Homo-oligomer: A and B are copies of this chain.
């Protein structure tokens, strides 16, 4: 069986996972006397890539040794993100080696610490930062460097989800164009959590947002909801199938920066709104359609098309500031300046939550497992 190489903690998990998955292999494992052990843990595990609802199961893992530099964290909450689903399906460019525990971000409380650990004590609220694999389990044992202590007053569900979506929104607003108060951004997929974060983070900086949503029943309510978050303009795709869509933006400057998480026609609409020299950043492709661009958009309108992938950003030296940004985002969440809908579900209801995250019941709030 392939070895787990993603992190030392997952490496440590391997014999345990193998034991748990093959009961006959659970023979004699001799441990040194006085070794600190984690409590036993329930975990969402997949042994092969495939449809998440059929390849994942919840199993019991035996205790893990807490070495001198390790911290054992009792997980409190962790979301089911679309990228978690893609990782299980095996369609993500970074393919965790199986068997693996699902999940990538989350929040927990320090349960016990190794003898050489400094700066973390039982009861501290921590997140894995940068995020790392295997957050869908009751107890995680990883090196102390993995864990970042956050403000104890942080709302749990935001602490569990602060990195993947809000940090993406924040980086995309900062890393491509220098925006100042009064500037304008345009985005499709505005109802996504990243989209909602962009609206609020932009608003917080005095930046206007033009938002495109798909045609749907109840679009007026959706518009109202996004405007309450701070959206300046919200259009459905069909409202923009007019000759001069730009004339709809009376009184605000042409957008300098655009965000695309849909592709196809919705991406073309973002390009249409962008002013000369503008940049469109692609961070998702919900329609599964490619992006089509005219030659003249590049030559005469001087548009730039770029992409953003948080996991790649995390591997650069820029990620050093990640933890400072997390604090900033959690401050905003605490102050009610950054909000989005989530549904907290008990760990026992994992597969029901997974079905919702897979879209089996239509559009649903983000599912966050409450351990």
Binding site for B on A (CB under 8 A): 93, 263, 281-285, 290-309, 312
- Number of copies of this chain in the oligomer? 2
Min C-beta distance of A189 to chain B, whole Å: 12
Interface pair A285/B295, CB less than 8 Å apart: yes
How far, in angstroms, from A305 to B280 measured CA to CA in the complex? 10
Min C-beta distance of A343 to chain B, whole Å: 27
Interface pair A283/B308, CB less than 8 Å apart: no
A291 nearest in chain B by CB position = B293
15 contacts between A and B (CB under 8 A): A93-B300, A283-B299, A285-B295, A285-B299, A290-B294, A290-B295, A291-B293, A291-B294, A293-B305, A298-B308, A300-B307, A300-B309, A302-B309, A303-B307, A304-B304
Which residue in B298, B303, B305 is a CB contact (below 8 Å) of A298? B305
Interface pair A292/B295, CB less than 8 Å apart: no
How far, in angstroms, from A298 to B305 measured CA to CA in the complex? 8
How far, in angstroms, from A263 to B282 measured CA to CA in the complex? 20
Interface pair B306/A296, CB less than 8 Å apart: no
Interface pair B293/A299, CB less than 8 Å apart: no
Interface pair B299/A295, CB less than 8 Å apart: no
Residues of chain B contacted by A302 (CB below 8 angstroms)? 307, 309, 312
Min C-beta distance of A353 to chain B, whole Å: 26
Interface pair A307/B298, CB less than 8 Å apart: yes
How far, in angstroms, from A309 to B296 measured CA to CA in the complex? 10
Residues of chain B contacted by A281 (CB below 8 angstroms)? 298
Residues of chain B contacted by A293 (CB below 8 angstroms)? 290-293, 305
User: With A290-B294, A291-B293, A292-B291 given, is the CB distance from A284 to B299 under 8 Å?
Assistant: yes
A304 nearest in chain B by CB position = B306
Interface pair A307/B312, CB less than 8 Å apart: no
How far, in angstroms, from A302 to B175 measured CA to CA in the complex? 14
How far, in angstroms, from A64 to B236 measured CA to CA in the complex? 58
Residues of chain B contacted by A294 (CB below 8 angstroms)? 285, 290-291
How far, in angstroms, from A282 to B301 measured CA to CA in the complex? 12
Interface pair B308/A282, CB less than 8 Å apart: no
Interface pair A309/B299, CB less than 8 Å apart: yes
Min C-beta distance of A42 to chain B, whole Å: 32
User: With A300-B93, A304-B304 given, is the CB distance from A295 to B309 under 8 Å?
Assistant: no
How far, in angstroms, from A303 to B296 measured CA to CA in the complex? 19
Sorted nearest first, the 3 A-B pairs with minimum C-beta distance are A298-B307, A285-B295, A282-B298
Min C-beta distance of A365 to chain B, whole Å: 24
A309 nearest in chain B by CB position = B299
Which residue in B291, B295, B303 is a CB contact (below 8 Å) of A263? B295
How far, in angstroms, from A306 to B304 measured CA to CA in the complex? 5
How far, in angstroms, from A34 to B300 measured CA to CA in the complex? 46
Residues of chain B contacted by A304 (CB below 8 angstroms)? 304-307
| A263, A303, A306 interface centre (most CB from chain B within 10 Å) | A306
How far, in angstroms, from A285 to B299 measured CA to CA in the complex? 9
How far, in angstroms, from A312 to B303 measured CA to CA in the complex? 13
Interface pair A296/B291, CB less than 8 Å apart: no
How far, in angstroms, from A167 to B308 measured CA to CA in the complex? 32
How far, in angstroms, from A32 to B359 measured CA to CA in the complex? 84
Residues of chain B contacted by A93 (CB below 8 angstroms)? 296, 300
Min C-beta distance of A247 to chain B, whole Å: 19
Interface pair B282/A295, CB less than 8 Å apart: yes
Interface pair A285/B296, CB less than 8 Å apart: yes
Residues of chain B contacted by A301 (CB below 8 angstroms)? 307
